[in-house]
Amino acid sequence: GAVVSQHPSRVICKSGTSVKIECRSLDFQATTMFWYRQFPKQSLMLMATSNEGSKATYEQGVEKDKFLINHASLTLSTLTVTSAHPEDSSFYICSAPTSGSTYEQYFGPGTRLTVT
């Protein structure tokens, strides 16, 4: 199957700083990628849809100025958490769908963000 990577896998940052998380599709191109966050023992919550070459689409209640998304190429989307606070600590996961009739989504391994 297709492979999606994320970097870093874990990051600890101080309150007020910004953190960038990368999501890459390694063996296929993705014009669209999705960003999710997951709190402990909860399901995945869709944050935004990342669109190559255009602005991201954010879900209701997600602050677009806080969670900056850039989809600069067909294989890379980045999520930047700006001015991070402890409540932003979470598990962030990206996904990318393959093209064609199946439109199957593949997920990255996730990034654990801890804000101290």
Binding-site ranges for other proteins (CB under 8 A): 1, 6, 32, 34, 36, 42-46, 49, 91, 93, 95, 97, 101-110, 112
Say if strands 10-13 and 111-115 run parallel, antiparallel, or are unpaired: parallel
Q: Is-cis flag, bond preceding 109, omega within 30?
A: no
Would you say 46 or 72 has its CB closer to other proteins?
Answer: 46
Q: Write down the least CB distance from residue 11 to other proteins, Å.
A: 14
Q: Write down the least CB distance from residue 72 to other proteins, Å.
A: 21
Q: Write down the least CB distance from residue 26 to other proteins, Å.
A: 14
